[in-house]
Amino acid sequence: MEFLKFEIKDKLGILTIDNQKSLNALSLSIFQELNTVLDEILSKKEILCLIITGAGEKAFVAGADIEFMSKSNVMQAAEYSKIGNSIFSKIESLPFPVIAAVNGFALGGGCELTLACDLVVASNKAKFGQPEVSLGLTPGWAGTQRLPRIVGIRKAKEMIYTGRMIKADEALEIGLVNKVVEHEQLMESALELAAQILKNAPIAVKLSKQSINDGFDGDLYRGISLETSLFSQCFSTEDFKTGTTGFLEKRKDISFSNK
């Protein structure tokens, strides 16, 4: 991989976008590499959580490849949008939690990438925004769709219509991120969050994500029916027996088998 670094630490995958010359902008080459790496991640059953971050001190992902877009026609633009949306949807639908560790600029496509993740930990130096209108564009990778669902429609409209960048503390205030930490503590904090997730029953975490994602935009009662189905599935797992027995025996060393 030329622009990505991927490593596995026990049950945790760590994916770093590394194209620092362009502030980790999302080129077609990076999307191709992301597609390959995501397929590899899906094939590795031991991975139960993923952290995505950017290389360097300045940017998580500063946006799209503006030079490429400046030379693109309508058909090429549509294809670029479809490719990015396909990758982000693949990230969103991974069967385990995905944490964005935002170390710097998360603008345009970078902000949209965080929206496709389950949780976001941000450096106090991070900045977020959807500045596409300043380039004569709309967001192209579901910013107009995911952002209102996460921060509310009025705040999303404000961010998109003005193109204004917001700092990490404001991103926390509006619910765009889960936590803001000192820059030097970013990865440590993301790793701690991953560890809190990984200590729990993997099947229960997976089914919880499925229930939230599949039920969020639909009818409440259909969502409740889905939750009931997934809740009851847990009763057939070894992890359910392990968890409930350990609780009743007041054990603190419960270890789940993912079965």
**112-163 confidence digits (pLDDT tens):** 999 999 999 999 999 999 999 999 999 999 999 999 999 999 999 999 999 9
Residue of 112, 182, 184, 188 marked catalytic: 112
Please provide residue 73's backbone torsions phi and psi, each rounded to the nearest 5 degrees: -95, -175
Considering the four listed CATH numbers 3.90.226.10, 1.20.1560.10, 3.30.30.60, 3.10.640.10, the one that applies to the domain covering 4-198 is 3.90.226.10
The pLDDT tens digits for 84-95 are 999 999 999 999
Give me the catalytic one of 67, 79, 132, 227. 132
**pLDDT per residue as tens digits for the range 33-85:** 999 999 999 999 999 999 999 999 999 999 999 999 999 999 999 999 999 99
CA nearest neighbour of 161 among 186, 194, 131: 131
Every domain range in the chain assigned CATH 1.10.12.10: 202-248
Torsion, Cα 198 224 100 162, to 10 degrees, reads -170
* Fold topology of 202-248: Lyase 2-enoyl-coa Hydratase; Chain  A, domain 2 (1.10.12)
Average pLDDT of the residues of the chain:
97
Q: Are 84 and 35 in contact (CB under 8 A)?
A: no
The reported pLDDT for the residue numbered 253 is 87
Is 112 a residue of the active site?
A: yes
- Tell me where in the chain the CATH 3.90.226.10 domain(s) lie: 4-198
- Please give the pLDDT value at position 217: 87
Question: Phi-psi region for residue 121, left (φ > 0), alpha (ψ -120 to 50) or beta?
Answer: beta
Q: Hey, what are 119's tokens?
A: 């949780």
Is 46 among the catalytic positions?
A: no
pTM: 0.96
